[in-house]
Amino acid sequence: MANEAMETIDFEELLKLADEKKYRQLKETLLELNEVDIAQFIEELDSEKTVIVFRMLPKAMAADVFAELPVEEQTHIINSITDKELSDIVEDLYVDDAVDMLEELPATVVRRVLENTKPDTRKLINQFLKYPDNSAGSIMTAEYIGLKKNMTVEQSFAYIRKHGIDSETIYTCYVMDEKRHLEGVVTVKDLLMNPYEKLVGEIMDTYVIKVTTSVDQEEAVETLNKYGLLSLPVVDSEDRLVGIITVDDVMEVMEEEATEDFEKMAGMLPSEKPYLKTGVFQLAKNRIPWLLFLMLSSTITGGILVRYENAFAVIPLLVSFTPMLMNTGGNCGSQSSAMIIRGMAVGEIEPSDILKVIWKEARVGVVVGAVLAVANFIRLMIQYPGNTMICVVVVLSVFVTVIVAKAIGCILPIGARVLGMDPAIMASPMITTIVDAVSLMVYFQLACWLLDMSV
């Protein structure tokens, strides 16, 4: 999508400057730009130019640009620069960016990076690498401003001026005792609104919203989101502050989690990397397990068809309605399950709402079922005049199938959640397979009764 800010950047022009080796002019133009755009520009260069351009950047900017680059470019740069340069960059990275990078880099490169990291930083990185994937600990960073209760506003500003440059955010400061227990939180806005001589202890908010390192990242995201915070403190099991989660990390997690849900709901294992960067075999690997499982499950539906073989040998027309019936059932079920799964993902529907949800879906099912049944009846009476009983069978089946599909579509995801499973697996493909079988049974059973056939 085109966007305002980007339109003003002439990447063609920049590439031309690089090609013509007009490096001084290129540097001047680059320094005007945002780090994100510079990273995007570096990505487009050929590999020899990458390092030349990267080395142009002033030290303060280099780490920021580096953090925005994809892992291939990072590896290439790490392999091309000196130990001193590498050390400067790693020390300048926020620890969460450093950890993200180390988790992606090839092992040999990781070794070289850690060799050029100061012992303190290395210790911190190693500690952060240990937090389980998808935990609050895994997305936090260590660069925050910590104040003491007995500091004045003036002293706090002095402290922020001195240490703020290395902090990921300075706008929310955390007040701790000597043992790093979190005692309160104070924003720069609070500090600005109060006189210089006031003590931090007097203006801090002691009601601190926080999470522990081990909670799921989704919970951390929900908490930050619910309270509209710019950063969320993360404490260990003894209530000592170990890091903060900032709003930009949260947005990344929100996007990742939504993508994961889309993938799961389409019957895929979630992928680690973006689509265009995922290999063919990895994509295939993510897709095959559910396909195999669903393929084998749908032989049950096939079995049902065979069981009623006699019925459609007598009236072959009956078979022609099966795709319509199965599709409608599947679609109705998917609609309900998609609403419920999403509702649970954003925290709007809780498992305790199950009765409310079933009652609602039952009524929606009756309305939808009635409308579809009537529409079908009209069509069938026009298309197959004279076959009234067959029409009645089809129409009744549609009605019952819709209601059953809606019920299955809402009960299964909530049931999965109650059992501690991920509701997203009870989405479209799974529901369709189950509803297919049910709708065929309803259909043929109705046919046997109403058309007076025996199986």
Q: Is 25 an interacting residue with respect to a copy of itself (CB under 8 A)? A: no
Within 195-224, which residues bind a copy of itself (CB under 8 A)? 206-207, 209-212, 215, 218-219, 222-223
Of residues 106 and 279, the one with the C-beta less far from a copy of itself: 279
The least distance separating a copy of itself from the CB of residue 84, rounded to whole angstroms, comes to 26
Of 229, 259, 258, 267, the residue nearest 246 (C-alpha): 229
Of residues 12 and 178, the one with the C-beta less far from a copy of itself: 12
Within 30-89, which residues bind a copy of itself (CB under 8 A)? 32-34, 36
Within 180-199, which residues bind a copy of itself (CB under 8 A)? 188-189, 192-193
Look at phi and psi of residue 244 and say left if phi exceeds 0, alpha if psi is from -120 to 50, else beta.
Answer: beta
The least distance separating a copy of itself from the CB of residue 417, rounded to whole angstroms, comes to 10
Residue with tokens 């930083």: 121
Q: Are strands 231-235 and 241-246 parallel, antiparallel or unpaired?
A: antiparallel
Q: Is 283 an interacting residue with respect to a copy of itself (CB under 8 A)? A: yes
Kindly tell me which residue out of 13, 28, 166, 262 binds a copy of itself, with binding defined by CB under 8 A: 262
- CA-CA distance, 390 to 406, in Å (whole number)? 24
294: enclosing H helix or E strand: helix 280-307
Q: Is 236 an interacting residue with respect to a copy of itself (CB under 8 A)? A: no
Alpha carbon distances (Å) from 417 to 133, 214, 336:
21, 20, 15
Q: Are 257 and 218 in contact (CB under 8 A)?
A: yes
Kindly tell me which residue out of 58, 119, 228, 386 binds a copy of itself, with binding defined by CB under 8 A: 228
- CA-CA distance, 350 to 196, in Å (whole number)? 47
Kindly tell me which residue out of 356, 378, 449, 455 binds a copy of itself, with binding defined by CB under 8 A: 356
Q: Are 435 and 402 in contact (CB under 8 A)?
A: no
Q: Is 425 an interacting residue with respect to a copy of itself (CB under 8 A)? A: no
Within 324-343, which residues bind a copy of itself (CB under 8 A)? 324, 326-328, 330-332, 334-335, 337-343
Kindly tell me which residue out of 109, 147, 175, 364 binds a copy of itself, with binding defined by CB under 8 A: 364
What tokens does 135 get? 């935990």
Q: Is 263 an interacting residue with respect to a copy of itself (CB under 8 A)? A: yes
What tokens does 187 get? 């924003």
